[in-house]
Amino acid sequence: MRPLLIAGARLLDPASGLDRTGDLLAVDGRIAALDPAAVPDGAERLDAHGLCLAPGLVDMRVRLGEPGAEHKERFESGCAAAAAGGVTAMACLPDTTPPIDDPAMVEFVARRARRVRGTKVYPYAAVTKGLTGEQIAEMGLLREAGAVAFSDAARAVASARIMRRALQYASALNALVVQLPEEPTLAHGGVMNAGPIASRLGLAGIPAVAEVIMIERDLRLVEMTGARYHAAPVTTAAAVAAIRRAKAQGLPVSCGTTPHHLALNELEVEGYRTFAKVSPPLRSEADRLAVVQGLCDGTVDVIASDHTPQDQDSKRLPFASAEFGVVGVETMLAVTLRLVHDGTISLLELFRAMTVAPARLLGIEGGTLAPGAPADLVLFDLEAPWRITETGLRSLSKNTAFEGRLVQGRVVRTLVDGRTVFAAVP
């Protein structure tokens, strides 16, 4: 692979706070230097004047459909969508069929990712066997096989006894446990945020308190075990406040949210729009603003897409019967850049939540422009406007909550280990 010089870009490195114009040299798949004094003979030169160059996004909440739901997404289509969105690494959730609850399934994910050779894919492993919440999975063996973290994906670990044991094992392994913060008996049967809108539409609601109840319980278990704990996605003011207090106490906790919970509220469900049916549900405007504030003050550590492909047969149904979830890996950057354009957050702070923060939580390389780091990079035009359309998405499924939305900020090129995995058509 030829050395690559990306010249004249606005360099953004959230890990170091770097934000200036300069050059970057990549050699043998790694960042060799910023503003190099000399460039190797035969190096490829890419003129990036007027563009921003940042570490590639690290998405720690993605579903790729394999195995079991290849008609909704495959590794090839999911990685293509991720690359088009500037995502160079993603962690896939374990709620596949069969679930990722044994070492063979962890190795399957690694093999498929190597074969595709696109965006890097890292596997979660299940906290409990079969994601049933009843028996702890073989966490030590799963960790040895390559699992970057443990989660029961869209199911909360309801039993406090099971969760305590999982946190104890995870603490011994220095592994991260990722919990869906939703008390399942309160959420059971609900399809949207509980409140006046749900009542008017005649839809069963999921109360906001279901989120903070689960988080408060788990925080007590974290105090007991000292385990690393991540709540995601958080969607309510009460949950953000609980995490903020826990951090002030010095507990090893973190949390994440999604682009759709930052950008949308429960009003999107008006007209029974099933493409706005997500889990956890879109909340009130007050909750949305609280989550945005949590991102700005550092309480919310990570933005992850929660990419959940659903085919037309799963979404073109009465609201109560439709499946939860939206695709988001391709639109994550463009949607969240709205917060930069309206002056809510700085570009570096936004990128910190989508690059170095998730990389550190998962214990993987990436998220920085430091020399020696992998040349996993996204080159983007901060000002370029474009419209999100179902037909323009590379995912096999088209269940976006942002159909027809005009956004600002478009990926021009994505590189993984110095290889171009996506280049926009001029």
Residue 426 in this model has a pLDDT that exceeds 80:
no
Q: Note the helical H segments in 146-208.
A: 160-173, 184-187, 196-201
Domains in the chain: ranges and CATH? 56-90+152-362 (3.20.20.140)
Lookup: tokens for 175:
């592994």
pLDDT value of position 8: 97
pLDDT value of position 425: 85
Alpha-carbon span 241 to 294, nearest angstrom: 8
Is 311 among the residues known to form the active site? no
The pLDDT tens digits of the residues spanning 69-128 come to 999 999 999 999 999 999 999 999 999 999 999 999 999 999 999 999 899 999 999 999
pLDDT value of position 1: 84
DSSP 356: H
User: Which residues is 37 bridged to in the sheet?
Assistant: none
The pLDDT tens digits of the residues spanning 224-239 come to 999 999 999 999 999 9
Span between the terminal Cα atoms of the chain, in Å? 24
Q: What is the DSSP string of 250-266?
A: T-SEEEEE-HHHHH--G
Query: What is the enclosing helix (H) or strand (E) of 138?
Result: none
Cβ 179 vs Cβ 234: under 8 Å: no
Alpha-carbon span 95 to 335, nearest angstrom: 26
Percent residues over pLDDT 70 in the chain: 100
- What mean pLDDT is predicted for residues 409-415? 98
State the average pLDDT for the chain: 97
Cβ 204 vs Cβ 191: under 8 Å: yes
The pLDDT tens digits of the residues spanning 200-256 come to 999 999 999 999 999 999 999 999 999 999 999 999 999 999 999 999 999 999 999
Catalytic residue among 23, 152, 218, 306: 306
Q: 244 to each of 241, 250, 254, 337, 356, how far by Cα in Å?
A: 5, 10, 9, 24, 20
Crossing angle of helices 209-225/160-173, nearest 10°?
Answer: 50
The pLDDT tens digits of the residues spanning 137-164 come to 999 999 999 999 999 999 999 999 999 9
